[in-house]
Amino acid sequence: MPHDHLPSALSQALAARGYDTLTEVQTRASAPEATGRDLIVSARTGSGKTVAFGLAMAGELLEDDKLPFARTPFGLVIAPTRELALQVSTELEWLYAEAGGRIVTCVGGMDPIKERRALHGGAHIVVGTPGRLRDHLERGALDLSTLRVAVLDEADEMLDMGFREELEEILDATPDERRTLLFSATMPRPIVALAKRYQKDALRIETLGSEPGHGDIAYQAVAVSPTDIEHAVVNLLRFHEAETAILFCATREAVRRLHGSLSERGFEAVALSGEHSQSDRNRALQALRDGRARVLVATDVAARGIDLPSVTLVIHVELPRDAEALQHRSGRTGRAGRKGTAILIVPNMRRRRVDSMLRGARIPVEWIDAPTPEDIRSRDRERLLERLRAPVEADEDDQALAAQLLAELGPGGVAAALVKTLSSDLPAPEDIIGAGDRPDESGPRAGFEGSSWFKINAGRKHGADPRWLLPLICRIGHVSRNDIGAIRMAAMESYFEVSQRAVQNFVRALRKSSATMAQDGILVEPSTSPAEHIAAGGGPPKPRRKFGPRARR
């Protein structure tokens, strides 16, 4: 047996599942020095944590390589979300199948009466979410008096989601001599306090540093104008044509807006956020699993516990709060030995900050340009040729239809019809500002007599550049490029002139889009001509004092 240090029932189950070797966290959690001890384990998403604590529990559960009859559970696993609990239950079922294990799952969204019947029938291991477990405990359906081992999976997320009281109530109902295995990607103060209260002489297992941080994930970053973010998302989805892609947003409003926009463009997309019910969540995930949807737009919290093996692309539409959140989001791809791509869409003004965050976290990233329509059309041609060149098995009916089409349309007509049919359902790519579209910064242009000057809160220190400022100004002001004259750069602001004929419409559009601009951190104000001031090397002109003691006198 390749896993001779493990009980034979588990070793056989692993071999049948194709586990030739164990991951580091699985090896260390099941090592002799970890036997019988409380554990604090830090491991990344997708590192095999479920099998790791399944192996670690074996010493408390098995007797003579079998699980004895149990009226009340010997093992308890608490997970933050329904999806994660169901995944854990599925993993433990095959792992303990040879040992005769009975696993009962208790999660929100399922029939609590059926769960209570299952608990009364006896279970070796109970897997559930904090709220549902506490409900069964308070109703007397869940008896933890004989519990031998408790596992807190993704404990940091459970505390982030506000489950501290539920966890404490559940653990307080268990025997003092039980083992407690705490799995947490991070160790904030609340986790340390929880470990101190419920664990004794815990063995610390840290695999975050020794394992490559998502070695199967290629990180890329795209710097775009804030108004081109949605266009970049569309082009990245079209360029990669991933089997399943997850787009991360920061708020439920952003999820709603992006999901609606993608659906209108023809993408098969579903959404998950705090405003969606459990039944909405179930339908969305099922649509992704059976291929009816290929794009999931979600917030961080809503995507917790989701494990979709088909995810090959993660796009951070809105930036994560830190590098840790970035890696946790990105961990939804590059799993089970498959390669994945994680792409950050970075507003130009935040590029330096993001660069600094990535360097500090030692995340290798490739800065790329957003795919252009021509890039996408070229990739479409490659994919189409690849599909058509693949060998096919045609029966007699197919061959007869092919002969009829060839006779009626000819080789060229059949090929054109085939190409048109296969590409007709693809959403159109979007135009994104290119490197060659740099406006003239040198000075006044003809036709701008009587123009008005405005300033925007993006200067050289923010990484501002006329090539992305120009389309930003045009979109928020509803004007064309021909209505924008010179663009002058200062350290903290940039100044631009608007032609006399377009000023009224420009100001009106600014008022209408003020709320959206504020949300994106954009401020545009009228200004006087900054030419002389910038040439002298100063900052923006200081406004004259209108009020104050001297003015009043």
Q: What is the DSSP string of 301-340?
A: TTTTT---TTEEEEEESS--SSHHHHHHHHTTSS-TT--E
Question: Do 277 and 342 share a domain, yes or no?
Answer: yes
Question: Do 105 and 168 share a domain, yes or no?
Answer: yes
Question: Do 12 and 119 share a domain, yes or no?
Answer: yes
Distance of CA 423 to the CA centre of its chain: 28
Question: Do 147 and 225 share a domain, yes or no?
Answer: no
Extract the runs of DSSP E, i.e. beta strands, from 348-433: 365-368
Give the 3-state secondary structure of residue 21: coil
Q: Are 274 and 252 in contact, with CB atoms under 8 Å apart? A: yes
Q: Are 327 and 363 in contact, with CB atoms under 8 Å apart? A: yes
Question: Do 362 and 400 share a domain, yes or no?
Answer: no
List the structure tokens of 480: 């064309």
By DSSP bridging, strand 340-347 and strand 217-224 are parallel
Among the three residues 336, 356, 372, which one is the final residue of a domain in this structure? 372
Helix (H) or strand (E) holding 468: helix 466-477
Half-sphere exposure of 410 (CA within 13 A, CB side): 2
* Residue 475: inside a domain: yes
Residue with tokens 């795209």: 222
User: DSSP letter string over 541-553?
Assistant: PPPPP-SSHHHH-
CATH of the domain at 508: 3.30.70.330
**Residue spans of the chain under pLDDT 70:** 1-4, 44-46, 208-215, 305, 335-337, 422-425, 433-447, 529-553
pLDDT on residue 439: 44
* Residue 90: inside a domain: yes
For the chain, how many structural domains are there in total? 4
Residue 344 to residues 280, 323, 484: CA-CA distances in angstroms?
Answer: 27, 12, 30
Question: Do 90 and 178 share a domain, yes or no?
Answer: yes
pTM of the predicted structure, to 2 decimals:
0.58
CATH of the domain at 184: 3.40.50.300
Q: Are 370 and 235 in contact, with CB atoms under 8 Å apart? A: yes
- 400-448 pLDDT, tens digit each: 888 888 888 888 887 787 777 766 567 888 877 643 344 444 444 556 7
pLDDT on residue 396: 81
* Residue 540: inside a domain: no
Closest CA to 429 of 386, 472, 371: 371
The backbone region for 147, taken as left when phi is positive above 0, alpha when psi lies in -120 to 50, beta otherwise, is beta
Whole-number Å distance between alpha carbons of 50 and 84: 10
List the structure tokens of 532: 């002389």
* Residue 347: inside a domain: yes
Question: Do 355 and 393 share a domain, yes or no?
Answer: no
Question: Do 356 and 399 share a domain, yes or no?
Answer: no
Question: Do 232 and 295 share a domain, yes or no?
Answer: yes
CA angle 249, 251, 253 (to 5 degrees): 105
Give the 3-state secondary structure of residue 433: coil
Among the three residues 175, 206, 237, which one is the final residue of a domain in this structure? 206
Among the three residues 331, 356, 372, which one is the final residue of a domain in this structure? 372
Closest CA to 199 of 37, 376, 25: 37
List the structure tokens of 508: 């009106």
* Residue 136: inside a domain: yes
Distance of CA 144 to the CA centre of its chain: 36
152 by Cβ neighbours in 10 Å (0-12 / 13-18 / 19+) ranks as buried
Neighbour tally for 350: CB within 10 Å? 17
List the structure tokens of 47: 């590192």
Question: Do 30 and 167 share a domain, yes or no?
Answer: yes
Dihedral sign from CA coordinates of 86, 90, 96, 98: positive
List the structure tokens of 2: 């390749």
* Residue 428: inside a domain: no
User: What range does the domain containing 481 cover?
Assistant: 452-535
Q: Are 259 and 269 in contact, with CB atoms under 8 Å apart? A: yes
Question: Do 273 and 301 share a domain, yes or no?
Answer: yes
Question: Do 184 and 230 share a domain, yes or no?
Answer: no
373 by Cβ neighbours in 10 Å (0-12 / 13-18 / 19+) ranks as middle
518 by Cβ neighbours in 10 Å (0-12 / 13-18 / 19+) ranks as exposed
CA angle 5, 10, 13 (to 5 degrees): 130
Whole-number Å distance between alpha carbons of 254 and 271: 11
* Residue 436: inside a domain: no
* Residue 81: inside a domain: yes
pLDDT on residue 546: 37
